[in-house]
Structure 1
């Protein structure tokens, strides 16, 4: 069970260019060794370890997860949830959605919907539970769900 994401500690939340580069590398592969990150960024391993610890402590890094390739779960259900966020709650909603294990990707969009979340579930019953959890997130005003039926091109 994943814990509630920590709120960002605003007094230390200012990110510099190195923080952004580090986060970009971690998004690609959160298991990249510290020595490799240090070499790619041109800093010491200690600097990387300290930066990661600070980003975790300040709630910038909310957690780590495993990404499962869609073809690894052929019997599961895949759906997309279009989400309208109330007021200025986007940051909080995004943090909560990133902590939801069934959300495999999350995208910022324009137009009628603010966010688009791809979710995976083992069954319709499990999808229903996921949708219920997501709809209860404070700051979500409205959702619309589309279930993936068939892929014609990837």
Structure 2
């Protein structure tokens, strides 16, 4: 589906606040409420918008988050992903090109849990190398 400027404006407004009313979005981008409603329904039906969510404030997020860069045996990558995604500390797993095969986002409430998670992933069969990057502060976050 090809997105036009209006679709992108709708998505931008919802990315800012997914609870923004259709009327408010319509006023903001200068369209009729019924037009905005129809566009949103089309974006949802086509799969461009899969759902709506919340962004947690700093007080509700886990205290420690990080990114793990993982080199794997190519024949074991799928099995590794299957095992790792069962860990509640793992928030996202991305395949990657380049030196690392997987980029894993983790979040925990304490360093002991983070340490156990890193140890578990690092010792998984097929994991050749793991590098951890602990996030110190978020300077910008755009999630769409």
TM over 0.5: yes
Match of 2:94 in 1: 107
Match of 1:147 in 2: 134
Match of 2:75 in 1: 88
Match of 1:79 in 2: 66
Task: State how far apart, in whole Å, the 2-side matches of 1:97 and 1:70 are.
Answer: 26
Residues 149/98 of structure 1: CA separation in 2 closer, same or farther (3 Å cut): same
Match of 1:25 in 2: none
Deviation track 1:65-105 (CA, whole Å, cap 9, x = no partner) reads: xxx95746345100100000013111101111111111001
SS at match of 2:125: coil
Match of 1:97 in 2: 84
> Root-mean-square deviation (CA), in Å?
2.3
Deviation track 1:122-151 (CA, whole Å, cap 9, x = no partner) reads: 111111011111112111110000000111
Larger Rg: 2
5+ residue gaps in structure 2? 1-44, 47-54
TM-score (norm 2): 0.56
Match of 1:128 in 2: 115
Task: State how far apart, in whole Å, the 2-side matches of 1:70 and 1:91 are.
Answer: 33
What is the aligned length? 90
* Displacement over 6 Å in runs of 4+: none
5+ residue gaps in structure 1? 1-39, 42-67
